[in-house]
Structure 1
């Protein structure tokens, strides 16, 4: 199946894949080739794409939509960062600041980034 993950500022990843796992408002969702058409709301969390060739692609996605149709998966993220792009120190600092200010949304985004980057 063909997979595209895009954010407003860039194409994050595109190519053939054997599986996509994403966190949606209804829970974790796994998509395999031949999946029925679907539209889902992405929530802050991990998206894992398993390319046909190579290592899994792990991304922190902060909101958006996932669409499945005709063996094509489109992930339209409000914001997205590849795991290797995330600074654990910066994400931890953002979490401390968000918690200190009582900003639950910012704290949830920081936790999502930390979980993908391998932080606490």
Structure 2
């Protein structure tokens, strides 16, 4: 059995998770990272994705985040997320509308459109739909 360590997932509005875990999987700008106890200390930016958390006691949990930072310290790992939700908190209709708006914005490809922002919005919406168990059709790699 893996050694537990403390994980906090926080947003500007609330603490989404706070407790002992044995393992987490996150996606940084450099790719996927698995964190066990005694991992080297790092701070890295995170992209919009679905975090997988293995609590010390209980079932695997997943959260969708809209980007942020991961800080691995001596005793505590912190995910500072722009936004974070459990599957049960996702408004599927809202996520579907956000996905549609992002696709329309990307399709316009006008010079005054921030394509990076639109693509991040698309990733966030598709991650929400995926975590909620709804097909988004043509999912992007997030």
> TM-score band, normalised by the shorter chain?
over 0.9
Name which of structure 1's ranges 85-94 and 50-59 shifts more when overlaid on structure 2. 85-94
**2:34 matched residue in structure 1:** 30
**1:18 matched residue in structure 2:** 22
**1:116 matched residue in structure 2:** 131
Aligned-pair Cα RMSD in Å: 1.2
Partners of 2:48 and 2:120 within 8 A in 1: no
Q: Which structure 2 residue ranges, 5 or more long, are not aligned?
A: 107-117, 136-142
1:111 & 1:18 partners in 2: Cα distance?
Answer: 28
**2:68 matched residue in structure 1:** 64
When normalised by structure 1's length, the TM-score is 0.92
Name which of structure 1's ranges 20-29 and 106-115 shifts more when overlaid on structure 2. 106-115
Q: How many residue pairs align between the two structures?
A: 120
Tell me which structure has the larger Cα radius of gyration.
Answer: 2
Deviation at 1:38, TM superposition (A): 1.1
